[in-house]
């Protein structure tokens, strides 16, 4: 009877890259429980929220992305256990942002203007821009002149001299909330004046 060749060995189980190979005498790792996912959420959720908020404009959108990331993580953990879910969650987050940017590119593609040969982009003449800036400054100065003296002084100290609310309060003998009130009042008045024009 011929001896089998030692160079040819077939694995007992088919190998799959997403599943770890388990020896016959080895126990399969247990699936992640909802408590495990809850602990990951409590530990990683705030970090993930800050990560998304720093990269998207809307807080609601950041919350949606956090929820989507944990939904994907839960789906994966239901199939395969993870000893270190944080790096996997970070990868999911990066992929979600990448998918989001690609989706935005596809949505905005019809509105993109091509520049190049034969295309003359519309640019407002410099003189028009100067006239518009002059009009805005005229309205701004008039609105400042309409403010009560104390409100105008507080506003100019904050916006022109770039003093903090605390410094203005100390210099004028006011409380910080009073300084905040005067700055808000001035901003509101100037904004209304610019809207009317």
Cα(165)–Cα(158) distance, integer angstroms: 7
Query: Distances in Å between the alpha carbon of 112 and those of 101, 109, 115, 119, 178?
Result: 15, 5, 10, 13, 47
pLDDT at 169: 93
Which pLDDT tens digit goes with each residue over 133-164?
Answer: 888 889 888 988 999 999 999 999 998 888 99
Give the closest residue to 88 by CA, choosing from 36, 143, 123.
Answer: 36
Q: For 19, list phi and psi in degrees, rounded to 5.
A: -115, 135
Structure confidence by residue, pLDDT tens digits, 65-93 = 999 998 998 888 888 888 888 898 999 99
Does residue 51 carry a pLDDT above 50? yes
**How many Cβ atoms are within 10 Å of 94's Cβ, its own excluded?**
12
pTM of the model: 0.42
pLDDT of 79: 85
């Amino acid at each position: 009877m011929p001896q089998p060749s030692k160079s040819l060995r077939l694995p007992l189980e088919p190998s799959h890259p997403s599943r770890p190979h388990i020896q016959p005498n080895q126990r399969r790792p247990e699936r992640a429980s909802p408590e495990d996912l809850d602990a990951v959420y409590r530990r990683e959720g705030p970090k993930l929220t800050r990560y998304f908020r720093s990269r998207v404009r809307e807080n609601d959108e950041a919350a949606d992305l956090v929820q989507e990331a944990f939904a994907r993580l839960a789906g994966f953990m239901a199939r395969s256990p993870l000893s270190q879910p944080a790096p996997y969650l970070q990868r999911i987050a990066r992929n979600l942002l990448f998918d989001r940017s690609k989706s935005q590119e596809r949505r905005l593609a019809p509105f993109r203007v091509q520049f190049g040969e034969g295309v003359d982009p519309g640019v407002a003449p410099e003189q028009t821009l100067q006239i518009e800036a002059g009009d805005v400054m005229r309205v701004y100065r008039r609105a400042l002149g309409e403010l009560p003296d104390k409100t105008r002084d507080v506003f100019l100290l904050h916006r022109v001299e770039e003093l903090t609310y605390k410094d203005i309060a100390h210099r004028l003998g006011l409380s910080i909330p009073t300084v905040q009130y005067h700055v808000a009042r001035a901003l509101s008045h100037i904004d209304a004046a610019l809207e009317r024009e």
